[in-house]
Structure 1
Amino acid sequence: MVDPLAEVVTLLQPSARFSKVVSGAGAWRVRRSDAGQPFYCVVLEGSCVLEVQGSEPLTLLSGDFVLIPEADGFAMSSLVPLASEELETTPVALLHGEFRLGLQDGPADVRLLVGHCTLGSPDAAMLVALLPRLVHVRGDARLATLVQLVGEESRAERPAREVVLARLLEVLFIEALRSAAGTEAPPGLLRGLADARLAAALRQMHESPTQAWTVALLAKAAALSRSAFFVRFNHAVGMAPMEYLLAWRMALAKRLLRGKAVGIAEVAQRVGYSSASTFSVAFTRHVGQPPSLYARQQWEVQAS
């Protein structure tokens, strides 16, 4: 059975950029604005405060794991407030690659393992839009172990390091996302998959993207009336069923076009279009350029 969440994460192509251990004592505050770069953090010891734009401040405790799929601005600070929220703290490099925030002497109040990933998919923005803005998991030993493995592997110079990191990060993303899945999740793929009836329709779309799907057929797969399915899907996933199907087909098409072995007509057939011309019109409307031009530009990037 096809797993939509695993497919999205695989298409995102996450890879390690860096990870580091950060400790803090006293009053401190750091801001980050790394648009489009997923940020993750595990609290190894102590506690601190995370503030993400558009969300209430969140107190993180020892063992907590946080994933921000698209870090477009956030701040982390000590429980002890600074004199002004405008003040920022500069991390100081210590021995063994660790960084210190706030007071440089004495025991740390908190120790964090933080890191950034890069997403190799040219369609990352669309895929990330299917995920929640913030994933917070509390007390999950599996995630803590995975993050520790990512940190160790990124700092080591072992054979096949990049391959191992790529696989670890895929598992890390999937584990974090499925740990946060539920009917209380924000609108997106996770919330849709938490609804057993919608999950059946989502899996059908991912398993058979070439089928001539209609809202009525998807509603039948979900064992719902057409109108009930349409409203329920919109509410849970945050977009209409056919809009989701189009976005997924275009993501698959982009992946195929990046390889030189598949022509436009075959790509059209493999993503559910009856002709190359019909596919070209849909692709151009969705992406903003014809598939032939998109493919040529991608090949040029790969060759450079």
Structure 2
Amino acid sequence: MIDPLAEVVALLQPGAPHSKIVSAFGSWRVRRSETGQPYYCVVLEGSCRLAEDGRETVVLQAGDFVLIPAAYGFTMSSAEPPAPGAPDSTPLALPGGEFQLGEPDAAPKTRLLIGYCVFGSPDAALLVSLLPQRIQVRGEPRLATLVRLVVDESRERRPARDMMLARLLEALLIEALRSSADAPVSPGLLRGLADTRLAHAIRRIHEAPAQAWTVAQLAKEAALSRSAFFERFSRAIGLAPMEYLLAWRMALAKRLLRQDGAAIAEVAERVGYSSASTFSVAFARHVGMPPARFARERPASQEPA
């Protein structure tokens, strides 16, 4: 059986090139203004506060994992933050690659593993939109085991370290998504898969993306009326059913063109188009360039070994 969540994570091509351990003492605060980078944090010891712009502040405790798939402005601070107007803390680099905030003799102490992921997919923005805006997990032993492995790998400079971190991060991301499946989440794939009826229709799309699906056929798969299915799917996923189908087909087409080097006619057939010309028109409209040009402009990082 095809697993849509695993497919999305695999297509994202997550990597973890930037991670560091930070020890923070006493009262501290750091502010970050990002451009949609995926940011994650693991609280190894103590507690802290995370305040994203426009969202409710959350308190993170030892053992918590949080991932923001597209981070913009946010602030992290001690559980008792500095007074408003006080200057932000400046991280101090220590020997061995760790960082320090505040004075080492001040209490309490908080220890964090923080990092930025990269998503190598050319469709990362679409795929990220299918994930919750914030993933937070607490008290999950399996996740804690993965976190310990990430911390251990981050500290050492073993051969193939970056490759190992990338694989661990992929496992961490899947486990975090699975662990948070029962929590209220923003519209996206996780919310759709939590709905038993919608989940069946979503799996059918992923099992047979080349099939000539209609809303009525997908509604039948979900055992819902056409109108009820359309409204329920759109509310849960954040995209209408045919929009989701088109977006998924194009994500698959990009992977086939860039990674597998498949011929355009073959790609067209595999993603549900009757001819290469029909596919090329749809691809150019969706992506902004014809498939042949997209394939030629393959990034160096995605060249086959």
- Please confirm whether the aligned pair reaches a TM-score higher than 0.5, indicating the same fold: yes
CA RMSD of superposed structures (Å): 1.8
1:90-124 superposed Cα distances (whole Å, 9 cap, x missing partner): 11123433222122324543111111111111111
CA contact (8 A) 1:63 1:138 kept: yes
* Pairwise CA distance, 1:83: 2.4
User: Quick check: 1:88 aligned with 2:66?
Assistant: no
Aligned residues: 303
User: Which residue is 1:48 aligned to?
Assistant: 48
Name the structure 1 match of 2:229: 229
- For residue 51 of structure 2, give the secondary structure of its aligned residue in structure 1: strand
Q: Any conservation in 2 of the 1:129–1:188 contact (CA below 8 Å)?
A: yes
**TM-score, normalization: structure 2?**
0.93
Q: Which moved more, 1:13-22 or 1:77-86?
A: 77-86
Structure 1 distance, partners of 2:107, 2:87, is: 23
Cα deviations across residues 59-118 of structure 1 (Å, max 9, x unaligned)? 111211101111122110112232225731111123433222122324543111111111
2:284 matched residue in structure 1: 284
* Structure 1 pair 86–234 and aligned structure 2 pair: CA distance change class (3 A): farther
Aligned counterparts, 1:256-267, within 5 A = 256-259=256-259, 261-267=261-267
Q: Is 2:51 the counterpart of 1:31?
A: no
Matches within 5 A, 1:230-245: 230-245=230-245
Whole-Å separation in 2 of the counterparts to 1:37 and 1:250: 23
Following superposition, the deviation at residue 289 of structure 1 comes to: 1.1
Q: Is the Cα–Cα contact under 8 Å of residues 182 and 190 in structure 1 kept in the other structure?
A: no
In structure 1, the partner of 2:187 is 187
After the TM superposition, which of the residue ranges 145-154 and 173-182 deviates more from structure 2? 145-154
CA distance 1:234–1:85, change in 2 (3 Å): farther
1:2-17 to 2 correspondences below 5 Å: 2-17=2-17
CA contact under 8 A between 2:257 and 2:295: conserved in structure 1?
yes
Q: Which runs of 5+ in 2 are unaligned?
A: none
Q: Mark the CA change 1:268 to 1:50 in structure 2 (over 3 Å): closer, same or farther.
A: same
Residue matched to 1:204: 204
Write the mapping of 1:72-83 to structure 2, written as runs, cut at 5 A: 72-83=72-83
1:82 match: secondary structure = coil
- The structure whose residues are more often strand, as a share, is 2
Tell me, yes or no, if the aligned pair for 2:20 and 2:154 is still in contact at 8 Å: no
Q: Distance in 2 between matches of 1:135 and 1:69?
A: 8
Question: TM-score scaled to structure 1, two decimals?
Answer: 0.94
- Give the partner amino acid of 1:138: R
Alpha-carbon distance between aligned partners in 2 of 1:239 and 1:285, rounded to the nearest angstrom: 18
Letter in 1 for 2:168: L
Q: Note the residue ranges of structure 1 that are not aligned, 5 or more in a row.
A: none
Structure 1 residues 103, 163: CA separation in 2 closer, same or farther (over 3 Å shift)? closer
Sort the Cα spacing of 1:233 and 1:302 in 2 relative to 1 into closer, same or farther, 3 A.
closer
1:173 aligns with 2:158: no
Tell me what 1:295 maps to.
295
Alpha-carbon contact 2:261-2:295 (below 8 Å) kept: no
Deviation at 1:302, TM superposition (A): 5.2
